[in-house]
Amino acid sequence: MSKRQANRSVVIGTIGADAHMIGGWVLEKAFRAAGFTVAFLGAVVPQQEFINAAIEIDADAILVSSMYGMGVLDCEGLRQKCIEAGLDDIILYAGGTVAAPLEIEKNWPEVERRFEELGFDRVFPNTCTAEGAVAALKADLGIVD
């Protein structure tokens, strides 16, 4: 993967059949406050819409929120589709209750491993703060303010 020229733009949304929206909304505020262009897609977003939005705003990253425990299933295949869509260097994050709560609590390394396998760059538990997410992305993009 080639290191992209940071464009300070992200796509945020809640994936799959999940209607939880607050997490993504909080992230939107935080990223805007940090000077990012944000395409906030709301809830119940199919993979295709994340990708379409990312192409349109030339996004640096797609931030996927998932609160209902099926994050792994919903995120499967997103990396492959990004490659096909010409987004081969895009950064992928997932966050929230991305797997069954018990698994998150007891076996976080396994959750991280599964997301790494899916081609995600980072995965965050639901205890992560919005500022933490902004800091992580800035670091990954090599942005120093």
Cα distance between residue 59 and residue 32, in whole Å: 14
Q: How far is the CB of 48 from another protein (least distance, A)?
A: 5
3-class DSSP assignment, residue 53: helix
Helix orientation angle between 22-33 and 130-141, rounded to the nearest 10 degrees: 50
Q: How far is the CB of 4 from another protein (least distance, A)?
A: 13
- Residues contributing to the site for another protein (CB under 8 A): 47-48, 51, 55, 68-70, 73, 76-77, 80-81, 83-88, 97, 100-101
114 Cα distance to chain centroid: 15
Q: Are 98 and 71 in contact (CB under 8 A)?
A: yes
The helix (H) or strand (E) run that includes residue 37 is strand 37-40
Q: For another protein, which is the closer residue by CB, 103 or 112?
A: 103
Q: For another protein, which is the closer residue by CB, 88 or 131?
A: 88
Structure-block tokens of residue 20: 């939880």
Task: Give yes or no: 18 in active site.
Answer: yes
Structure-block tokens of residue 43: 């809830």
Q: Are 54 and 5 in contact (CB under 8 A)?
A: no
Catalytic residue from among 18, 60, 74, 145:
18
Q: For another protein, which is the closer residue by CB, 79 or 136?
A: 79
Q: For another protein, which is the closer residue by CB, 9 or 47?
A: 47
Just list the catalytic residues. 18, 20
